[in-house]
Amino acid sequence: MMTAARMKILEDQQTSIARKVFAAVPIAEPWTSRAIAGEMRRLSPGNTSDLSTVEGCLNSLVEAGLVCERSGHFQRVKVRQTSDEGAEPMTLRSVGSAPGPRQDVLSRLASLATRLRILADEIDAIALDADAEIAASKVGDAKLRQFKELLNNL
């Protein structure tokens, strides 16, 4: 069990596809990776993630401590309910020190890290699109060469 704040921090550190896999992982009962992949397709019909990608994301979620695995079945880690609902969230400052420039720097770094993660996800998506276009153009080039050879043979 972990606190909701800790879970949010760990979830924010995941890639976009891992966050989508995490959204499909059940809380109530453990599911297989195939069932989770099916749930992802149900949640977003245009989703084309293959099973190996889902399994890789599940493994990274297990390593992060967000998901637990038992004999090939995956389930979200339960969130511990705190008794202090309105309590101040835990921060990275020493006892007795007042909030100041250090917290500003840490919050700006956290914000920058989040933006960099989003940019990295976008770069990955663009690279995959570029690879698909290159593969398609290679197929078109091969067909054009075959057509040229046929014309030369006539």
pLDDT tens digits along 78-87: 888 765 545 5
Contact, 37 vs 54, CB < 8 A? yes
Amino acid making up residue 150: L
Share of the chain above pLDDT 70, in %: 87
Q: In whole angstroms, how far apart are CA 65 and each of 56, 89, 148?
A: 14, 20, 58
73 vs 126 pLDDT, higher one: 73
**Cα–Cα distance, 107 to 9 (Å, whole number):** 13
64 vs 107 pLDDT, higher one: 64
pLDDT tens digits along 90-129: 555 544 445 566 777 887 888 888 888 888 878 887 888 8
pTM of the prediction? 0.52
**Cα–Cα distance, 99 to 64 (Å, whole number):** 29
Structure tokens at 5: 């704040």
- DSSP 8-state class, residue 68: E
Residue 62 is predicted with a pLDDT of: 93
pLDDT tens digits along 5-45: 888 888 889 888 889 899 999 988 999 999 998 888 888 87
Confidence of residue 89 (pLDDT cuts 50, 70, 90): low
Residue 66 is predicted with a pLDDT of: 92
**Cα–Cα distance, 108 to 95 (Å, whole number):** 21
Architecture of the domain made up of 1-81: Orthogonal Bundle (1.10)
Q: Where are the beta strands (DSSP E) in 31-146?
A: 31-32, 67-70, 73-76, 79-80
Residue 83 is predicted with a pLDDT of: 58
Confidence of residue 74 (pLDDT cuts 50, 70, 90): very high
Structure tokens at 14: 């995941």
**Cα–Cα distance, 154 to 150 (Å, whole number):** 7
